[in-house]
Amino acid sequence: MSYRAPVAEFQFLFDHIVDLNQVAQTDRFSEATSDVIAAILAEAGKLCDEVMAPLNRVGDLNPARLENGVVRSSPGFAEAFRAIADGGWIGMSADPEYGGMGLPMSLTTAMNDMMSGACLALQLCPLLTQGQIEALQHHASDALKETYLPKLISGEWSGTMNLTEPQAGSDVGALRTKAEPLGDGSYKITGDKIFITWGDSDMVDNVCHLVLARLPDGVAGPKGISLFMVPRHIPDEAGKPGVANTLRVASLEHKMGIHGSPTAVMRFDGATGWLVGEEHNGMACMFTMMNNARLGVGIQGVGIADAAYQHALSYAQERKQGRTAVKGGSGNIIDHADVRRMLAAMKADIFAARAISMACAVAIDMSSATGAEEYKTRAAFLTPIAKAFGTDVGLEVANQGVLVHGGMGYIEETGAAQYCRDVRITSIYEGTNGIQAMDLVARKLMDGGEAAYRLLSEIENAAQDSRATLPALAQSVWEAAETLREATEWLVAQGDLNDRFAGAVPYLRAFARVLGGHYHLKAAMVERGDGPRTRLAAFYINRLMPEYASQLAHARQGSAGLYALSDADLAAQ
């Protein structure tokens, strides 16, 4: 079975679960009518199914390569990227003043989900460009905006983000790349960056690098870092790519997956760059791009999960092996209880993770449309959950997909293993999932837990409203939310952040589990408690959601037990 974009699923989410209509009712997004949304989803699905999905295996078997200093893209990628660009998909949410469509981030997020399921390696290129567009819109000078935004939005140029160095991974403040002012408004950038996704390609006329570097008077650590635009070719007076800048791809990384996406080691040798934002405020500027990318990466996990599920379901519906006691069964392995369990868990988790990501996207849209603090804090709170849970689900579903295939799943020709290899990186980049969890229990609880409590109150109120129709499921969700509230109160009361950090990952997982139950319950209520979504909700709430209890027990243990295990204890055999 080839990939099919879940267009109808997004329409259901928008109509019944995350309420995209509230976004369309704002002045900013008033053009996002139901007809427009339906048309965009249909066209995006067609692009994914017909143009991108056929290239997924092609990119895996024919990786991008570096030849004589030029990165050569996988066969068919350039034509597909041009179809993406010509369709206006890169600039869907970008400012119309510079050629964007100005549509809600929710629609862009849905599109990124479908594109990731179709071909993650290719989708990474427009995703990074979208993030750069967002950063420039918020922080760049008018001159930089006029030069770069139209080209990035049109897809004539692409964008990257350059943070990581060999000695400075998550600790970005340890970077050594230098920036020296040249006295004419430009700067000389010198240093090496690693893990630069789509650091170069032959698909575009110019590659535009956002680079973190330290000015001569920049203090040590993250507060002394500035952000610079450093293009592969310096634009001439007409805004066209001019002379080559003094930067190059030193090598391409040999990766576990996403082979069609070139991941570069970039060398900047006195390259010309321009300041983006204020001096020494580079991290704040880059975080605009990173926050955009974190939601984008979370939805990548969901997209890959959906593709892996579709692949496994198709196999299970065709493969005959063994006998079951199921009366009237198909005779295929989908009749086996354990295979049915895996497929149900895959489908239920995909819905939960997708709903969380789309709720985050709607909060971002409402924040940008209204400026209301409530939506800003909601979006900020949901972002680490969407990123971590979405990519965890991607990993888990891809692994289960291999198990559904049995031994054939371990054979590359079946294609199941590629999903595992490709999705593995998503839980690592844009801040590992552990970092996301630490952010959740630290920064996102700095308000005393108010953002968390508001969300939990909504879950409890919705459960109360569902009692008459689905009493048992509603009670389970209400109890889960109340237990999560108590655990949140415990975390907020901990003065030592290490006690929060020790339980950060299980706390985030528990929160995601309860949110998933909430969204499944809402889906069941759309059917008034009778239908396929109700049966899936019952599976999730009764079988998967209870994981929250053990995760919260873990989260409330603090750090003492971790450090009671000494280095010697951990090394003992």
Range from 326-340, 441-455, 474-488, 555-569 carrying the lowest mean pLDDT: 326-340
**Catalytic residue ranges:** 430
Are 145 and 185 contained in the same domain?
no
466 and 555 housed in the same domain: yes
169 in the same domain as 48? no
- Over the stretch 44-75, which tens digit does the pLDDT of each residue have? 999 999 999 999 999 999 999 999 989 999 99
Burial class from Cβ neighbours inside 10 Å (0-12, 13-18, 19+) for residue 26 reads: middle
pLDDT value, residue 56? 97
Residue 331 phi, psi dihedral angles, 5° rounding:
85, 0
SS3 labels along 247-263: EEEEEECCCCCCCCCCE
Q: What is the DSSP letter of 16?
A: I
Q: Do both 30 and 144 map to the same domain? A: yes
Kindly tell me the burial class for residue 342, based on how many C-beta atoms sit within 10 Å of its own C-beta (0-12, 13-18, 19 or more): buried
Which residue, of 152, 184, 202, is where some domain finishes? 152
Q: Cα torsion for 313, 404, 427, 134, to the nearest 10°? A: -10
* Dihedral angle over CA of 221, 222, 225, 229, nearest 10: 140
Q: Is residue 171 part of a domain?
A: yes
pLDDT digits (tens, 9 = 90+) for 277-321: 999 999 888 777 777 789 999 999 999 999 999 999 999 999 988
SS percent in the chain: helix, strand, coil, step 5:
60, 15, 25
Q: With contact defined as beta carbons under 8 Å apart, do 256 and 425 qualify? A: yes
DSSP three-state, residue 226: strand
- Evaluate if residue 38 carries a pLDDT over 70: yes
Helix (H, G, I), strand (E, B) or coil at 153: helix
Q: How many domains does the chain have?
A: 3
| pLDDT (0 to 100) of residue 170 | 78
105, 121, 152 — which closes off a domain?
152
Same domain, yes or no, for 85 and 117? yes
Q: Are residues 198 and 144 in the same domain?
A: no
Identify the CA nearest to 289 among candidates 234, 206, 229, 244.
229
Check whether 460 has a pLDDT greater than 90: yes
pLDDT of residue 1: 53
Report the pLDDT value the prediction gives residue 174, as an integer from 0 to 100. Answer: 86
Whole-number Cα distances in Å, 291 to 156, 202, 281, 405, 515 = 24, 28, 16, 36, 21
Interval 230-253 mean pLDDT: 96
For residue 295, tell me if it sits in a domain: no
pLDDT at 167: 87
Q: Which pLDDT band, with edges at 50, 70 and 90, does 212 fall under?
A: very high
CATH of the domain at 264: 2.40.110.20
What CATH number should be reported for the domain holding residue 112?
1.10.540.10
* 175 and 99 belong to one structural domain: no
* pTM exceeds 0.75: yes
Question: Residues 6 or more apart from 361 whose CB is under 8 A from it?
Answer: 18, 104, 105, 106, 108, 109, 295
Q: How large a percentage of the chain has pLDDT more than 90?
A: 91
Q: Are residues 491 and 463 in the same domain?
A: yes
Q: Is residue 418 situated within a structural domain? A: no
382-427 pLDDT per residue, tens: 999 999 999 999 999 999 999 999 999 999 999 999 999 999 999 9
Q: How far apart are CA 533 and CA 527, in angstroms?
A: 7
131, part of any domain: yes
Judge whether residue 222 has pLDDT over 90: no
Percent share of the chain, pLDDT over 70: 100
Residues 179 and 193 in one domain: yes
3-state SS, residue 152: helix
For residue 49, what are the contacts with CB-CB under 8 A and spacing of at least 6? 2, 3, 4, 5, 118
Same domain? 101 vs 180: no
Strand partners, 206: 157
Residue 353 lies in a domain: no
Angle at 368 between CA 366 and CA 372, to 5 degrees: 65
- The last residue of one of the domains, among 258, 281, 304, is 281
Which H or E run contains 208? strand 206-214
Average pLDDT over residues 429-446: 94
Task: Examine residue 233 and state whether it is found in any structural domain, yes or no.
Answer: yes
What's the mean per-residue pLDDT of the chain? Answer: 95
| Per-residue pLDDT tens over the stretch 200-209 | 999 999 999 9
How far is CA 277 from each of CA 129, 137, 232, 282, 374, rounded to the nearest angstrom?
A: 18, 11, 20, 7, 26
DSSP conformation letters of 56-120: HHHHHHS--EEETTEEEPPTTHHHHHHHHHHTT-TTTTS-GGGT-----HHHHHHHHHHHHHHHH
Asked if residue 118 and residue 247 are part of one domain, the reply reads no
What confidence score (pLDDT) does residue 321 get?
A: 86
pLDDT bin (cut points 50, 70, 90) of residue 173 is confident
Confidence of residue 476 (pLDDT cuts 50, 70, 90): very high
> To the nearest 10°, the Cα dihedral for 400, 402, 405, 406?
-100
Q: Which residue has the tokens 């415990």?
A: 490
Q: Which residue has the higher pLDDT, 342 or 530?
A: 342
**Is there a single domain that holds both residue 123 and residue 175?**
no
Predicted confidence at residue 291, as pLDDT, reads 73
379 domain-assigned: no
Residue 470, domain CATH: 1.20.120
Residue 240, domain member (yes or no): yes
pLDDT at 535 over 90: yes
Parent domain of 524: 436-562
Tell me the DSSP string of 259-326.
TTS-EEEEEEEEEEEEEESSTT-HHHHHHHHHHHHHHHHHHHHHHHHHHHHHHHHHHHHH---S----
